[in-house]
């Protein structure tokens, strides 16, 4: 809903001036009537404006607010969806501890989990389950399963007739929580070329893949954007105008104009680009080159990149502090977590992690980091102020993705072998300096799930 514009009319003070001739032929009521007409017009315009903004109907939306984004409101498109606002904690997230756990199973092989910030969580199940699954964060129930098969010709790509099958890897949500842009490891079907692989064995014969947009109002794919070969990570700019996609086998980053639904630039980096963050200026971004052990800075407007620094082995994931001043990097091959200056890329602090840290997330208040340790089947919590690990919990097999869900203050862990663990993180806990407490042993593999080692990709 576009708020109506209020019209404000200012009436200059009018002082009747006597006609020195006595006002022959001019009624003294005319100026008074003119004033009354103007006042009536102002009142009518104000009434229309108030009705259009909803104030007269008990809707306190102020100018500039979008329907559904104001506190407590559910937008019309989300009437049939779970919808909630962020939970209010009694203490900073650094002072809470992960506790009560719930396990989600089913026909899933989640590579990543991402919260939309309003009560939905998406899991991207790669080419082993060929779907995304969307969950109600409050009760952890499955809300929808959406297969990754689309009709590309219906979405504006006549060169790909018939059904095309994707392989969902990562996702990022629009700020209103409605759309999820999901990178597809590969697209298979008529005209798509050779299959994608992490070793890029098929070279330029590998087909270009796509970014698919999921509309949660209909739980269907409503847009396709062709990007590079074997795309991995996707990040939407703070102003929602663009997205960046890391193309693993092209050694590039695609710049996507979201309004046009098309790639406008391809920016060269180095081998196996993956993690991305975009700074608050909507132009500066950082991207990891995982197999080159390098970190790049990107100027989106200019379409250029520069090497910022060499890193430890296999720099994988990046997150940005809520204020945009600090950046955090996992080095999957060095078992390290780095804190960096977001402006310069300078390393400020570093700390050891569990075995092979993959993805991470940061709490909305910026006080806690959550890191999954792939070869240790655990999730760690770090206090940002001290950059110390304060908790490590066992989860399912091969944890590869993690998301902080703000409406329930919970931590969602994607276990690649076939499950999702949800840990409550709303209650204050033991905050003794240097504490690192675990509340249980390994869950092991969910019953009925495949032991196929092919799920354990390096990326």
Q: pLDDT tens digits, residue range 224-237? A: 999 999 999 999 99
Could you tell me the pLDDT band of residue 435, with boundaries at 50, 70 and 90? Answer: very low
183 burial level (CB within 10 Å; 0-12, 13-18, 19+): buried
Residue 71 has pLDDT above 70, yes or no: no
Pick the range with the lowest mean pLDDT from 72-76, 355-359, 399-403.
72-76
Domain 84-455, classified CATH 2.130.10.10, yes or no = yes
- The residues pairing with 313 across neighbouring beta strands, listed in sequence order, are none
- The residues pairing with 249 across neighbouring beta strands, listed in sequence order, are none
**The pair of three-digit structure tokens given for residue 376, joined into one six-digit string:** 């240790």
User: Long-range contacts made by residues 48-51, C-beta under 8 angstroms, separation at least 24?
Assistant: 48/4, 49/4, 49/5, 49/6, 49/7, 50/6, 51/4
132: nearest Cα among 184, 202, 71: 184
pLDDT at 69: 45
Could you tell me the pLDDT band of residue 246, with boundaries at 50, 70 and 90? Answer: very high
245: nearest Cα among 266, 231, 257: 231
Could you tell me the pLDDT band of residue 18, with boundaries at 50, 70 and 90? Answer: very low
Ranges of CATH 2.130.10.10 domains, the chain = 84-455
112: nearest Cα among 179, 180, 213: 180
Strand 284-289, strand 315-320: pairing:
unpaired
pTM: 0.82
Q: Are 300 and 309 in contact (CB under 8 A)?
A: no
Spatial neighbors of 418 by CB under 8 A, at least 6 apart, are 105, 108, 109, 396, 397, 445, 446, 449, 450
Distance CA 208, CA 227 (A): 6
pLDDT at 421: 98
- Of 436 and 187, the structure prediction assigns the larger pLDDT to 187
Helix (H) or strand (E) holding 298, with range, is: strand 294-299
Q: What is the largest CA-CA distance in the chain?
A: 106
Count CB-CB contacts under 10 A for residue 242.
21
Pick the range with the lowest mean pLDDT from 33-47, 153-167, 262-276.
33-47
Strand extents, DSSP E, 31-129: 101-104, 112-115, 120-124
Residue 340 has pLDDT above 60, yes or no: yes
**The pair of three-digit structure tokens given for residue 360, joined into one six-digit string:** 């991470």
- Lookup result for tokens 């249980």: 440
Q: What is the mean pLDDT of residues 349-365?
A: 98
Distance CA 224, CA 258 (A): 11
Pick the range with the lowest mean pLDDT from 46-50, 340-344, 442-446.
442-446
238: nearest Cα among 170, 182, 285: 285
166: nearest Cα among 129, 120, 206: 129
Residue 31 has pLDDT above 70, yes or no: no
Pick the range with the lowest mean pLDDT from 28-37, 154-163, 194-203, 421-430.
28-37
Residue 288's alpha-carbon distances to 93, 152, 180, 297, 363, in angstroms, are 27, 30, 22, 9, 22
- Lookup result for tokens 């999820």: 180
Distance CA 219, CA 127 (A): 20
- To the nearest 10°, the Cα dihedral for 337, 343, 348, 351? -10
Distance CA 409, CA 128 (A): 30
The torsion angles phi and psi of 246, rounded to 5 degrees, stand at -90, 125
Sequence length of the chain is 459
Residue 24 has pLDDT above 80, yes or no: no
Distance CA 437, CA 292 (A): 35
Q: How many CA atoms lie within 13 A of 85 on its CB side?
A: 10
Residue 77 has pLDDT above 50, yes or no: yes
Residue 188 has pLDDT above 60, yes or no: yes
- The residues pairing with 442 across neighbouring beta strands, listed in sequence order, are none
Residue 172's alpha-carbon distances to 6, 169, 176, 236, 371, in angstroms, are 35, 11, 12, 7, 18
Helix (H) or strand (E) holding 367, with range, is: none
Give every strand in the sheet of 388-394, ordered side by side. Answer: 357-362, 368-373, 378-383, 388-394
- Of 317 and 23, the structure prediction assigns the larger pLDDT to 317
Residue 447 has pLDDT above 50, yes or no: no
Q: Could you report how far apart the first and last alpha carbons of the chain are, in Å?
A: 41
**The pair of three-digit structure tokens given for residue 390, joined into one six-digit string:** 């304060």
């Amino acid at each position: 809903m576009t708020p109506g514009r209020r019209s404000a009319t200012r009436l200059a003070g009018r002082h009747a001036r006597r006609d020195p001739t006595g006002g022959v032929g001019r009624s003294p009521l005319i100026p008074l009537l003119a004033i009354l007409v103007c006042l009536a017009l102002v009142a009518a315009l104000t009434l229309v404006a108030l009705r259009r903004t909803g104030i007269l109907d008990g809707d306190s939306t102020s100018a500039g607010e979008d329907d559904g984004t104001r506190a407590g409101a559910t937008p019309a498109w989300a009437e049939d969806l779970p919808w909630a606002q962020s939970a209010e904690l009694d203490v900073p997230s650094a002072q809470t501890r992960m506790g009560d756990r719930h396990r989600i199973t089913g026909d899933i092989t989640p590579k990543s989990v991402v919260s939309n910030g309003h009560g939905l969580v998406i899991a991207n199940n790669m080419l082993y389950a060929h779907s995304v699954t969307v969950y109600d964060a409050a009760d952890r129930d499955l809300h929808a399963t959406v297969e990754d098969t689309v009709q590309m010709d219906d979405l504006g790509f006549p060169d790909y007739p018939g059904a095309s099958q994707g392989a969902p890897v990562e996702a990022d949500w629009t700020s209103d929580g409605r759309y999820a842009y999901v990178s597809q490891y590969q697209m298979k079907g008529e005209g798509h070329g050779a299959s994608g692989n992490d070793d890029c064995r098929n070279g330029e014969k590998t087909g270009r893949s796509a970014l698919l947009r999921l509309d949660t109002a209909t739980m269907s794919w409503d847009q396709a954007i062709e990007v590079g070969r074997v795309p991995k990570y996707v990040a939407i700019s703070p102003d929602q105008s663009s997205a960046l996609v890391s193309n693993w086998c092209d050694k590039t980053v695609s710049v996507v104009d979201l309004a046009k639904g098309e790639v406008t630039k391809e920016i060269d980096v180095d081998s196996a680009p993956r993690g991305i963050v975009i700074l608050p200026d909507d132009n500066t971004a950082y991207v990891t080159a995982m197999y080159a052990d390098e970190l790049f800075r990107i100027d989106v407007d200019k379409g250029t990149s520069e090497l910022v620094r060499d890193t430890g082995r296999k720099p994988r994931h990046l997150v940005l502090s809520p204020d945009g001043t600090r950046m955090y990097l996992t080095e999957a091959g060095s078992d390290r977590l780095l804190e960096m200056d977001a402006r310069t890329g300078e390393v400020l602090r570093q700390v050891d992690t569990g075995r092979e840290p993959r993805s991470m997330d940061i709490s909305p208040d910026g006080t806690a980091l959550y890191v999954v340790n792939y070869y240790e089947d655990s999730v760690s919590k770090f206090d940002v102020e001290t950059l110390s690990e304060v908790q490590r919990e066992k989860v399912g097999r091969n944890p590869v993705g993690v998301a902080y869900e703000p409406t329930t203050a919970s931590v969602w862990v994607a276990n690649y072998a076939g499950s999702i663990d949800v840990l409550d993180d709303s209650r204050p806990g033991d905050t003794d300096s240097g504490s690192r407490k675990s509340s249980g042993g390994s869950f092991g593999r969910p019953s009925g799930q495949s032991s196929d080692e092919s799920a354990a990709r390096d990326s």
